[in-house]
A and B are shown apart, each in its own frame.
Chain A
């Protein structure tokens, strides 16, 4: 449910983005007569039995796959550990490049694929790991289950959070969370800050930062460096987690409207790498 609501907090589509999405959906023959211009961000949710061609695009005359249909929107992979490994690995290139090239005898085609990947998974085969019911899985089986999601793929996921099962009484409770509209307002503000900061590089969000740009825009004080250093030793975070933490910390700092990344931003960002810690077990 959370993932489905996600596109409602993403920043509004610009006209150019809208046209681009419409073009892809037109190629796929998915436009409806009543609504010929796609003006909401797409949300794609393929089943875990999906094949590689239908995910990245394919056919004799290659049609766009789910990743291209999710262009400028959300690609949601529910139960990511159930997808076949080859299918998941095929996501590596497109997530990095923002496009996919399909080579066929009849010609080569390039489709755009700038999507936000959201994935969910159970923590272990029995599903109870870390919840109030005792998990009966052994370490070996948990490791096997989680190893479906390879390191390089995990590497490309910025935020990893473990959530506990919802309790019955909180389902009935009257407490309401924030509405998507208010959150979207916040997202738009942060987008504006980032767009302004990166206008000379032709990118518009922290997610697209290259290593050189990270060095330039995610400068850390010595105190923050010390914290990260300690964290790496203590919790055995992987080196590849380093840049991810910096990017997330940069975004947290932007939400805080802070010019520099402060200690508290780094400390918060560290908490969003829970799978890194777990997979090492």
Chain B
């Protein structure tokens, strides 16, 4: 473990500019990472399938573009942000609201060590023996947004921790990016509030980079990622005629079930099931529940 004081050389520059910066940081893992270009990905603990899919999509795009992913090691969207960053060969930082000896929530103890194993970093402004206190968690959110160039909000209910992080980001003069969601979803209440207060709606990483550019953020300290091979196109080319036909059908129709495919394309159910498995193994399609399938990475 490393301790960094405010006046130390390697104290992250970006964190010095916020109001009420932590006087001391306790750090596990790669200290260098703190001075790279980072972006916060936060969201609700009570997430929906949609939120999970969007987290996957955005984290992947950001990691591919050399940004580190910062989040709060909470359950739900936060966990997915960390996991996806690791999966895609990127770096991730978890900001805790308690000491390292009392990992909270307990369920994420495994993830805690996975982050460290993947070359990521864990930071906290609290000494290792500091206990879990409810009041400390909203406070650590200022570090999450403070250390990042911008904050992406996936799903947030009214007055949630996620909204707190986003509000810190706004106060710190940083861009907040929101992912559109259904009005009927309680997790969109926080999102709508943020949008009304000037957060940007984004549909992909490109929009995020545009927004950062408007905010005069220079990304000159990106992380060099060893890109995980993009084999989607290759796998599509490898399919035979029938496989291609089924793949294209799923692509054109968004969510389709095995029955839809077999009825429309006049194929036997067993044949369709066989191809669904092949496409799933190749990572081309995904079962989104209710036996419905969607193309991976369509947007």
Contact = CB atoms under 8 A, between A and B. Distances in A.
Interface of A: 123, 129-131, 134-140, 161-164, 227, 230-231, 234-235, 252, 264, 267-268, 270-271, 274, 277-278
14 contacts: A130-B288, A135-B48, A135-B49, A136-B185, A140-B45, A164-B259, A227-B281, A231-B277, A264-B270, A267-B278, A268-B277, A270-B277, A271-B258, A277-B287
Given A130-B291, A140-B46, A271 B184 contact: no
A234 B283 contact: yes
Interface residues of B, number: 31
A136 B184 contact: yes
Interface of B: 45-49, 52, 76, 182, 184-187, 257-259, 270, 273-278, 280-281, 283, 287-292
B291 A164 contact: yes
Nearest to B45: A140
Nearest to B286: A235
Nearest to B258: A271
Contact of A129 (B187, B277, B281, B290): B290
A227 B281 CA distance: 8
A267 B274 contact: yes
B277 A162 contact: no
A274 B283 contact: no
Given A136-B184, A252-B270, A123 B277 contact: no
A134 B274 CA distance: 28
Given A130-B289, A134-B184, A164-B291, A271 B46 contact: no
Given A274-B287, A277-B287, A164 B270 contact: no
Given A231-B277, A267-B278, A271-B277, 13 more contacts: A123-B289, A130-B288, A130-B289, A134-B184, A134-B185, A135-B49, A139-B48, A139-B76, A162-B290, A162-B291, A164-B291, A268-B274, A271-B276
Contacts of A162: 289-291
Max count, chain A CB within 10 A of own CB: residue among B49, B184, B259: B49
A161 B258 CA distance: 11
Contacts of A271: 258, 273, 276-277
A133 to B, nearest CB: 10
A139 B185 CA distance: 13
Contacts of B288: 130
